[in-house]
Amino acid sequence: MVTRRRVFASSLGTKIVIGTTGLALFLYLITHLAGNLLFLLGPRVFNEYAHTLTSNPLIPVIEIGLVLVFLIHVYKTVRMFLANEQARPARYVKKAYAGPPSRKTIASSTMIFSGLWLFVFVILHVKAFKYGPDYQTIDASGAGTTIHDLYRVEMENFSNPLTVGFYVLSMLVVGSHLWHGVASGFQSLGIEGGDNPFWASRILLFGKTMAVVIAAGFIAIALWAYFAGSGT
């Protein structure tokens, strides 16, 4: 047990934990986006989907698991960032040889800041949507069952231009975080294509493509709700 703790507390173990939890959250985002896109099909489809999902007895367990994964990811990332900052030599010492060109990008250099932004965003997002107004509606299937009107909750939240602006900005931050984070997660687990440039470039392209798709998908939902609501 002590040996396992030392492994996961080590630099390599920390990277593996961050990579594993990060990819788990990435997979969740894909499924979350797929479900939320049903919002574009109208209140009947979306509310029935939400009712089916929340009626699953495993959902509370899954939600607890997601919260733990999310908190572990944030905790380990912050710990690694602080440890790297403490171990870093003087920043402004000019080197005689700078080495090969840096592969750093804005996305990779701001991972800790985009991550902390998203930590705050998730808290506000859950508060607004999961613990927001509890509207009720009748199941349109004809069974006469009363279900939560989550469609109305989303429409009301996205009727405020400031809320939409903050949401869109946060989704751009999500895209930036995933732009570097997906490929970095695979790399932490040793799945990066190795010396094979074909697979390495494909993994990098996959991460960047999914970053754009996920960010654009959530932004499209918010903008659609705002303009659809403004037109009524």
pLDDT tens for each residue of 24-37: 999 999 999 999 99
pLDDT(2) > 50: no
- pLDDT digit string, tens, across residues 100-116: 445 578 888 889 999 99
Q: What are the backbone dihedrals phi and psi of residue 200, each rounded to the nearest 5 degrees, phi first? A: -60, -45
- pLDDT digit string, tens, across residues 59-79: 999 999 999 999 999 999 999
- Per-residue pLDDT at 96: 46
> What is the C-alpha to C-alpha distance for residues 212 and 176, in angstroms, rounded to an integer?
9
203, 186 in Cβ contact below 8 A? yes
Q: Is 101 helix (H, G, I), strand (E, B) or coil?
A: coil
39, two tokens: 């919002």
Domain spans of the chain? 2-85+107-230
The CA–CA distances, whole Å, from 219 to 16, 196, 210 equal 31, 35, 14
Using CA atoms in the order 75, 21, 29, 45, what is the torsion angle rounded to 10 degrees? -100
Query: How high does pLDDT run on average in the chain?
Result: 86
Unique residue bearing structure tokens 């109208």: 42
- pLDDT digit string, tens, across residues 150-194: 999 999 999 999 999 999 999 999 999 999 999 999 988 877 655
* Topology (CATH) of 2-85+107-230: 3 helical TM bundles of succinate and fumarate reductases (1.20.1300)
Residue 224: which of 169, 175, 172, 164 has the closest Cα?
164
- Per-residue pLDDT at 78: 94
Provide the angle, in degrees to the nearest 10, between the axes of the packed helices 11-36 and 161-188: 140
Q: Please, which pLDDT band fits residue 120 given cuts at 50, 70 and 90?
A: very high
pTM of the model: 0.86
What is the share, in percent, of the chain residues with pLDDT greater than 70?
Answer: 84
- Per-residue pLDDT at 134: 87
What percent helix, strand, coil does the chain show, rounded to 5?
75, 5, 25
